[in-house]
Structure 1
Amino acid sequence: MKRKATLALMIGLGALVPVAYVHGQDENTMIEAPSDVAAVPDDAQKTDSGLASKVLTKGTGNEKPAAADEVTVHYSGWTTDGKLFDSSVKRGQPATFPLNGVIKGWTEGLQLMTVGEKRRFWIPADLAYGENPGGGRPGGLLVFDVELLDIKAAPKPPEDVAEVPAEAKKTESGLAYRILKSGEGDSKPAAHDIAEMHFSMWSKDGQLLESSQSHGRPLNAPINTLPFEGLQEALTLMTPGEQSRFWIPQALTFGENIPPGAPEGHLVFDIELISFKEAPEPPKVPEDVAAIPDSATKTASGLASRVLEKGTGDTNPKATDTVSVHYSGWTLDGKMFDSSVSRGEPTSFPLNGVIPGWTEGVQLMTVGEKRRFWIPADLAYGENPGGGRPGGMLVFDIELLEIK
């Protein structure tokens, strides 16, 4: 099971490193494909959506999860030819996730289950990843065996989620808020500082879209890399220890370009600012961010780059190597969407586990080198990727620190 890219993951509990989906599995653990993996059997139950399932082991209670709840499960997934493509059982570690942050077939199907229950699902393509999804994801009808281990209830929506209350304060931008619990002192973070916070986010109709509590850890990120202008402004109004509720108008979230599946109207955030850490000023927007300059070199794939600072050696990493880098990324209009420099913390990753533009581009570099890349959409996230990921051509400044 892979989580889909949803609004829930926009806030991303961590950096937006362009990582591909990779699973590590213990090859010594054998899991047999179900005998009825090839087609939906006659004894399976079907819902109106086309989801089919049958109970393998009954559960021990009556409680079923809601779509916004967090669940813990063990699961294995097969294509209809019996190929196992993912398994928490094989990894020996159950998976925990918000139920509204996965494919539709899982969101619907697990709401039928009780704790302790094991159920087999036949999930049609339109409730999974589609017929030909690409990116290493399996297409067509998928079969999952799922055991529901635990349910953690989602935070309840505020009573005043639908409308901004009269007593709320407003800023010049239209951001509305009220303090639920006062903080300590009068120090407030700057937009480039790193904030540690707990938060829950609802649509105006009370649907929980994301919650750091569901992940069991606070969000820790530079404020200016968070996706919503209104959210960034909100945090700069707070002091450590403060808990406040914010009504962020659509003009300060998606504006007029609402991505598919995103809610219209204002969003409501309950935020607790735990602490903040002063951070260095963010990197300046490159002067040539808007278009590939004549001085850049291009590869056959369309990747363009130019060296900003030469490296100190002559060894280039291979696609199978793990590298450590500092980086900053901008869209063509100069908006920085992520930066390890702003976080003051370099990033390490396997080079074959990131977007194609990074896999190809970093192999051109030597340790100590700084290079600017113009990565076309087909080597990044595509033109309209959704899920908070930036679309179109992207510009990255990358410094290669180490090859491991």
Structure 2
Amino acid sequence: MRKVLAFLLPAMLFLTACSGASTPADFDREGKSAGAAETLESVEVTDAGPETVPEVEFDAPLTITDTAVRAVTEGDGEVIEAGQDLKFHLVFFNADDGSVLQDSYGAGQPQSLALTDQLKEADPELYEVLVGSKVGSHIAYTAPLEVPEGSEAPPNQLLVLQVISAQDPPKKLSSEEVAELEEAGQLPTVTLDDQGVPSIEFPDNDAPADLVVKVIEEGTGEEITEADTIAANYTGWSWQGEQFDSSFERGEPSEFPLSGVIPGWTQGLSGLTVGSKVLLVIPSVMAYGDQPAQGPAGPLAFYVEIVEKVPAE
């Protein structure tokens, strides 16, 4: 589909394959819809719980001429707000014959979607329906497929999303909040050997929900901003303690623009000074996500030494 698959389908590529049903006539008086929502009039959903594929019925084939989004059932959770991070399950249906193509329930890991301005611009209909709906709602979505000229057209698709949770995005903790976590023994401990190569020991607790920037040694160089390119030495670990990358092992610092890295690096390193040595503890949503197409999954920890600000060409 021309929009939402840009946000949802990449995650699906890595997946393994009790309440009463709502009636469209009843729910349309309360539920939200956008676009050519009449396309989805026949869609009915019987909820089977947050971990089980719901029963979905609709009059196939659907005639899909434009983007259509409709809240088919109303959840009993909190109202979803702009800017929040959603967890959801989804089912892909063949809109021509009603068969199930793929779903995320079997993998046992909800997918993620952030209600950002980027989503609002890319898919205003989906954004409009999600914001103001409630956690637990089932949202039906369809849009015309974009098929390259000369390619065989795949079947039209209907997506049904079930929102599992909605949370405010993580924030960068203050130095006082970081000190409290350290005092409580909830942060990793970094140790440097004689050559300055770091190792790490993780505490026996879940990773903090927010971004942690612990300054181990403050640099004396110039301050860096999100617009800068820097050179840095670093090592990265998953929260389970597995090292996945290290410039120390390669023997030289890496250069990168702070605007082109994961949000945890951009927000965590901006405002620091050249020469600083820091521990970053980054929640999953500010790293590569829980089921990334590339990069390690889940919350991460990095030891970073800012070597220099690279002069602009």
Give the TM interval when normalised to the shorter protein. Answer: 0.3 to 0.5
TM-score using structure 2 length = 0.39
TM-score using structure 1 length = 0.32
